[in-house]
Structure 1
Amino acid sequence: MTKVVFSILLAIVISILPEMTTVSAIEPVNKYFPNQGTLDSTFKTPLSPSEIVAMYPMSAEEEAKIIQVIPQCPVNVDGTWYRAEEITLFNGQQLHFTTDTTGALYAFTDAKAMETFLEAEYGKIYDLPFNGSIQNLRLDQSELFKDWMYSGELMQLAPFIQLSNLASLGWDDCISSAKICSTAPVTLWEYSGFQGNSFTMPADSNHAALTFEGWNDRASSIS
C-alpha cells in the first residue's frame, strides 16, 4: 500500500514539475550607447557652454524666434526671481538654465555668467581630474531616459561627449529624466547644433522629471 501511495505521489510531482520550473523570459533594458569614436568631437578637450556658444553663435534672427517654456517652479534670471509664467518676458532671448545645490532653477542671458554661478555652487566643474585625461573617465556614465522617473529607453553618455543632432539618433525632443555622473555636467540644448536655450545639469545630480525645470521632451543636442 505504501509503495502504491508513493508511486501516485511521484507521478503527480513529475506531472506538475514542468509547470513549476517554467520561467518567463525577462525583456532586457533597451539601452543606447552613442558611438564614442565618431560622435565625440572633444575627446581631449572638454568645452563649456560659453565656449560652445562662441563656436556656434546663434543668429539674431533665430534668437528672436525663441519662445520660453514655462517651468513648474519659480526661476531666477540674472539675479532676479520671477514667477514661473513670467519666463515668457524673456521670449526672443537665449537663456542658459541650471540648478543650484538645493535644486532651485536659475537662468542667465550670458553662458559665462552661468558658469561662474556653477563654480561658486559646485567648484571647478569643467576642470579635468586624472591629469586631464578624459579616457580615464569613460567608465563614469550619465544616464538619460525617455520617460519620467528614470524609466523608458535609456541612453548612457560618457563625460564631455558632444551630440550635435539627436534626431539622427532617434532621441530628438524625448529626454524626460536624467541621472548625471559624478565627474562631469551634461548640457541639453534646445535645438540641433547646440543652438537655442541650454540647460546644464551639474555632475552627480538627478532629475526625475525634467518637466519641473521646463525641459521635458525638449533637447535636440547635448554637450
Structure 2
Amino acid sequence: MWRRWYVCLLLLAGWVTAAPTQQIYLYEHPEYQGNRLVLDANTYWYDLAQLHWNDTISSIQIDPGVDVTVYADPRFEGHSITFHESVPDLRWIRDDPANTSWDNRISSLTVGQPDGTPEAVVIFYDAAYYRGESLAVGDGATLYDLAQTGWNDRISAVRVAEGYEVTLYEDAQLGGPSITLRHDAPNLRYIRENTASTWNDRVSSFRVRRIAPPDAPPSVRIYEHAYYQGDALELDVPSALADLSQIGWNQRISSLKISPGTTVILYEFPNFKGRRVELTANTIDLTKVFKDRPQSWNDFAASLRVIHPQPDLKTDSPPPHQL
C-alpha cells in the first residue's frame, strides 16, 4: 500500500511544479554577445529609451513558442516586423522599402500576447515625489536585474495604478528582502518594511501583477484596432451575435478584453458558421491569431458567442488512487 501512496505523491508533486517562464533575451551585439536584457513572454515595452536600450539591440534569442514584434518607434508605432525564432544578427534583416536593417533600430516591442492595457500601470522615479527621470512599465512587466537598464539602486518613488501591485526586491533575480506596493509611494525613504534600512535607492529587480477585483462580474469588450484602440463595444455575458453586420461590427474586431473564466468564440460567417477560434484571455492583436486559416483573424469575424459557464459547486476531491 505504501508504494501506491508514494507513486501518487510523486505524481502530485509533478503536477504542481510550475512551468518555466518563457522569455526572450536582447543583446547589444550580433551572435548573442555583449550586454543582455531578459524579458518575460506576454509583456510589452513601449519605450526602450527608458530602459537605456533604445536603438541598441543587435540580436535576439527567443524561447520556442514565443513571437516578438518589434517597432522602429516608441509606443508600437512606425515600421514593424514579427520574429517567430531567434535572430543572431539583425544586420541581415531588411524588410522595408528603404532596405534598412533592423540592427540598432528597435524602440518598442511586444513579447507574445500581452494581457491587460497597453498603457503604463507602474511608474518609477529616481527622485522623491515623482521627480527626475522616470521608467514606465505595463501589466506583467518583470525586470530581473535593473543593473542591465541603468536603474539599479535608483528608485525613490513609485506610482501604482488602481488594480495593480508591484513587488520590489533588494537583490537581482527577484531575490532578497521584498515589499509589495498596491498604492503610490511618493518617497521610499519612509518605507522600511522587511529591511533594516529604507527602500530608497535599494531596488534591484521587480515584478508587476494585476490584482483580480473581488467578485468582479464577467465582461467582454471588443475593439476595432489592435492594442485596445479605436471604437469599442461592451458585450453581454453570456450572449450570441449571429450577424455582426447588424450592429456595424462585421469584420472589424482587432483586439478583445476577456475577463477570467469567459470564452469568446469568433466565427467566419454569420449564424455561427464556417471556421472558428476560441479565445479565453485578453487578446491584444488578432493579426497574431492564425488558427484554422492562412491569414490572421484580424477584421475577419462575422458572428460570435460569449460563454461564461456557471461555477461548479462540487468541492470534494477524489481519493489519491483515483487521480
Q: TM > 0.5 between the two?
A: no
Q: Which has the higher contact order (CA 8 A, sep 6+)?
A: 1
Query: Greater share of helix residues, 1 or 2?
Result: 1
Larger of the two Rg values belongs to structure = 1
Query: Greater share of strand residues, 1 or 2?
Result: 2
TM-score w.r.t. the length of structure 1 is: 0.37
